[in-house]
Structure formats: structure tokens, C-alpha cells
């Protein structure tokens, strides 16, 4: 039987999708699609980067989007629960912002249908950034004179509005793409991009069925229209030992949004891109290592007991999904010369 390495080595690749027994292996696009009403421009992305890193969008002046989604690392904060204003801790582990543009819905429970909708939530969440209202957030930004020229460059108008703030942040987030991982280079035809162990792991990943959920270019399921999320029940197979250890079923997931019992324990299928950098794992962050996450997922989702070799091989393959990170030059935030900003 031919190995995955020999199949790819023998193919004359003309695109970025390789079809074989195990499914279609797709590379990550280098640009993200943008909605017609919010095309990505350099000026808009630059403004979005400023807003993304500005803690003055929080009630205490201490929490920015970047606080929980650190683009100088894996795009999240490596915590089981993110820390918001006044030291409050959220109930779920922050998803990575890297490649979030390839999600059709945002948040673990899919309650936001776009990056723009997602950007609205944390600003007024009492645990996260804690503004009493978006009117308060906009009033705060209007007190910072340096934002007017940035809005003017991005929108041909210096008017500061909620819609423009979230559009700018979303435009910046659509630039956060990590292509050209060893896996991508391998699928494009570079048979030396993966180690033998990683190739075994890629085969095992498909053979046991991981790619039934974690398929597509971002390893987060099929490409769906914006707002139509790809959800899976977690856990599928009850396991008292793992439940006791990791509390996998304590969170009812999407049912908290829809109020429907049919949606109990449904979660958006997360990307596996850069997964080696985003421990701890799962919605509650209770699993601390990648190899243990592989073992747990195989058991509770696929009802399979993996041996150490299989776990090691799949873990090695998942490490090959770490891509190239675009350089992040931190923006100079506009100042309020000679006066204290009105934090509460």
C-alpha cells in the first residue's frame, strides 16, 4: 500500500488541494475573504490594529482585545479562563485570533456570525472589558484627538461610530493569517517538509476519522456561508473517568445561546492551525497538554483508545500545522497630552 508521502511525491500538483484516500488535504489561503460592506484596506487594518491594542476601550483602561488574544504569541492567552477588568476570570478558554477569519461563526458557542459581530461583544461584557454601553466606548474614543485622522484615512470621514470601530478591528483580524506551515508545503509537493513521524500522524489522523470534523484548509470543518456555523456535540461518548477529571460536560455550549435542548453541548469546531501553541485545550482549558488532548478527543469523540505511538504520531503531525506568522509592528497609540484619560 502506498504511503501518503509516496502518493504526494508522485503527483504533479497544479493546485492547493490533494485528493486521496482519507479526504481532501487543503492548504491555507494567504488572504481572507471580506464582506462586501467591509473591504479590507491597509488604512482600515492599521486603525483596527490600534483599536485592537488600546486598553482605553475597557472601563478600567487595563484590558484590550490583545490582552486575551495575544498576536505576539499564539493568538490567545494560554489560560483556562481569560482575565478581564478587576481581575475577573471568564468561563471559557479564549480561542485563537490567528486564522479566525476562516471561521463562519465566532465564539465557542457560535453566537456571533462574523468578526464584526464578535468585536462588539467583549467591549460591553461586564467580565471582559466592562464598558456600560457602546455609547460610553465611543465617547471615550472621541476624547482622544489622534483617532480622528486615523478614522478619516480608513473611512474618508473622521466620524467615530460603533460600526466603524468593529469594522476596523475585523479588517485587522482578517490580516492575521498563518500560511506555509510544514503541512502546507508538503501538500504543495515538498515531500521533505514533514518528518516520517508527521506523515504517519497525518495518515493516522485520517484513518481514525479526525478529519471528519477537523477538515478543510483551517482544519475547522467545511467552508460554509458566513453565519452558518459547523458545530459538533462534545463529548459524544460519555466517559465517567474523563468527565470527573476534566469536567467536559459542565458547559452546555450552544444551548446557552439558543435555549434549545437540542443544542446542548454543541460547540463550534475550532481550528487546529497553530494548535501546538494554544494550550490549554478545549472550551474549558482543563486539558493542559496536546498529547493528552489527542488521547481524550479520540476516546470521547471517536470511541477509540490510542496507543502511545499513535498519540505521538498525531501530536507530531499537529505540530506541523504551525504556520508562518506575519510580522506585527505594534502601533503607536494616540495620546491625550496634558490630561488624564477619564478611567473610572
pLDDT in tens, 212-231: 999 999 999 998 988 999 99
pLDDT of residue 344: 55
pLDDT of residue 10: 40
* 266 beta partners: 233, 253
Active site residue 128: yes
Whether pLDDT at 8 is above 60: no
The arithmetic mean of pLDDT across residues 162-182, rounded, is 98
Least confident segment among 49-53, 194-198, 276-280, 332-336 = 332-336
- Grid coordinates standing for 125? 461584557
CA distance 126 to 58: 10
CA distance 301 to 12: 36
213 DSSP 8-state letter: T
The arithmetic mean of pLDDT across residues 31-49, rounded, is 97
pLDDT of residue 74: 97
Among 128, 159, 241, 247, the one annotated catalytic: 128
Q: Which residue has the cell 492575521?
A: 176
Domain assignments of the chain as residue spans, ordered by start: 4-30+179-319, 42-173
pLDDT of residue 24: 84
> Comparing 4-30+179-319 with 42-173, is the CATH topology the same?
yes
Whether pLDDT at 34 is above 60: yes
Question: Contact at 8 Å (CB) between 257 and 117?
Answer: no
Question: Contact at 8 Å (CB) between 101 and 32?
Answer: yes
Architecture of domain 4-30+179-319: Orthogonal Bundle (1.10)
Task: Give residue 18's pLDDT band: very low, low, confident or very high (50, 70, 90).
Answer: low
Whether pLDDT at 207 is above 90: yes
The arithmetic mean of pLDDT across residues 264-277, rounded, is 98
pLDDT per residue as tens digits for the range 73-108: 999 999 999 999 999 999 999 999 999 999 999 999
Least confident segment among 1-5, 67-71, 279-283, 326-330 = 1-5
pLDDT per residue as tens digits for the range 225-258: 889 999 999 999 999 999 999 999 999 999 999 9
Buried/exposed 136-172: b ≥16 CB within 10 Å, e otherwise: ebbebbeebeebbebbeebbeeeebebebbbbbbbbb
The pTM of the full predicted model, rounded to 2 decimals, is 0.92
Q: Which residue has the cell 434549545?
A: 260
* 25 beta partners: 18
Sign, CA dihedral 154-155-159-160, equals: negative
Whether pLDDT at 340 is above 90: no
DSSP string, 201-213: HHHHHHHTTGGGT
What are the angstrom distances between the C-alpha of 158 and each of 138, 154, 174?
13, 9, 23
Share of the chain above pLDDT 70, in %: 93
* CATH fold label, 42-173: Cytochrome Bc1 Complex; Chain D, domain 2 (1.10.760)
Question: Contact at 8 Å (CB) between 193 and 182?
Answer: yes
Amino acid at each position: 500500500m502506498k504511503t501518503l508521502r509516496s502518493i504526494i511525491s508522485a503527483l504533479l500538483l497544479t493546485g492547493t488541494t490533494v485528493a486521496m484516500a482519507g479526504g481532501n488535504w487543503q492548504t491555507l489561503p494567504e488572504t481572507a475573504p471580506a464582506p462586501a460592506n467591509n473591504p479590507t484596506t491597509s488604512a482600515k487594518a492599521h486603525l483596527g490594529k490600534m483599536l485592537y491594542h488600546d486598553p482605553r476601550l475597557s472601563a478600567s483602561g487595563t484590558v484590550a482585545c490583545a490582552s486575551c488574544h495575544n498576536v505576539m504569541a499564539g493568538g490567545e492567552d494560554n489560560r483556562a479562563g481569560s482575565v478581564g477588568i478587576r481581575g475577573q476570570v471568564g468561563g471559557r478558554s479564549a480561542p485563537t485570533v490567528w486564522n479566525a477569519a476562516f471561521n463562519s461563526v465566532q465564539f465557542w458557542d457560535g453566537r456571533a456570525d462574523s468578526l464584526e459581530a464578535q468585536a462588539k461583544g467583549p467591549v460591553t461584557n461586564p467580565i471582559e472589558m466592562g464598558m456600560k454601553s457602546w455609547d460610553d466606548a465611543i465617547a471615550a474614543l472621541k476624547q482622544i484627538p489622534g483617532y480622528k485622522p486615523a478614522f478619516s484615512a480608513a473611512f474618508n470621514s473622521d466620524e467615530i461610530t460603533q460600526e466603524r470601530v468593529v469594522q476596523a478591528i475585523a479588517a485587522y483580524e482578517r490580516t492575521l493569517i498563518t500560511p506555509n506551515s510544514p503541512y502546507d508545503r508538503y501538500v504543495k509537493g515538498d515531500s521533505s517538509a514533514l518528518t516520517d513521524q508527521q506523515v504517519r500522524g497525518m495518515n493516522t489522523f485520517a484513518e481514525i476519522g479526525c478529519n471528519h470534523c477537523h477538515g478543510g484548509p483551517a482544519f475547522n470543518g467545511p467552508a460554509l456561508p458566513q453565519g452558518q456555523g459547523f458545530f459538533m456535540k462534545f463529548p459524544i461518548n460519555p466517559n465517567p473517568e474523563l468527565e470527573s477529571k476534566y469536567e467536559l460536560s459542565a458547559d452546555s455550549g450552544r444551548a446557552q445561546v439558543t435555549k434549545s435542548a437540542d443544542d446542548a453541548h454543541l460547540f463550534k469546531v475550532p481550528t487546529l492551525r497553530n494548535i501546538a501553541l494554544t494550550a490549554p485545550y478545549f472550551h474549558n482549558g482543563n486539558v493542559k497538554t496536546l498529547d493528552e488532548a489527542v488521547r481524550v478527543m479520540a476516546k470521547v469523540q471517536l470511541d477509540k483508545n490510542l496507543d502511545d505511538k499513535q498519540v505521538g504520531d498525531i501530536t507530531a503531525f499537529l505540530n506541523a500545522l504551525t504556520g508562518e506568522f506575519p510580522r506585527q509592528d505594534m502601533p503607536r497609540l494616540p495620546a491625550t497630552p496634558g490630561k488624564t484619560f477619564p478611567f473610572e
